[in-house]
Amino acid sequence: MDNAVVTPVQNINTPFNEAQWLQVLFLLADTQTWLQQQQEGLIWQLPVKNRKRLLRKSWYLTATALAHILERHYYKVPRHPLAGKFTISIPAIAAAIRDAYQQPPQPLPEPSGEDSGLLQRVWDAGTPLGYDTTGRTVSVLTVISDASGEIITAFPGTAQAQDGSG
């Protein structure tokens, strides 16, 4: 008995419906614009001075990235018990991420030593922010971004202390 899954061949002779395609394109573009506005509105609700510095083109904190940071690295969310955890308030986390921009970006190496294409900024807040993966209280924050400045993650401690999954 042959249990192989057969992938249906796409009908390459299907006519292109330009009007329908344009409607979907414009719907997606409008939805993306609306989501962008909602995301910026959410960041503006944070009680943090100079919030707009979190929305620069060269240093951009998305709602997705902030959700990732809080889900993985906020002490009130127990989903990732082996990750470093922030023990400061959410506005203080956002302010620390904002302030880390002042540090020069450095390439983030892969565990193999290769360049990952990502950048890290390591900033010492001068006051405890949380604890790293070893359980030590730390005042250092690492923010990982892509080359365009979109923030991917942030965590207390340094990348060397992390398990590599941010």
Question: What is the pLDDT confidence band of residue 69, given thresholds at 50, 70 and 90?
Answer: very high
Q: Is 145:105 a contact under the CB 8 Å cutoff?
A: yes
Q: Which of 41, 136, 50, 46 is nearest to 99 (CA)?
A: 50
Predicted pLDDT at 158: 94
Q: Which helix (H) or strand (E) holds 67?
A: helix 63-73
Q: Which residue has the higher pLDDT, 157 or 50?
A: 157
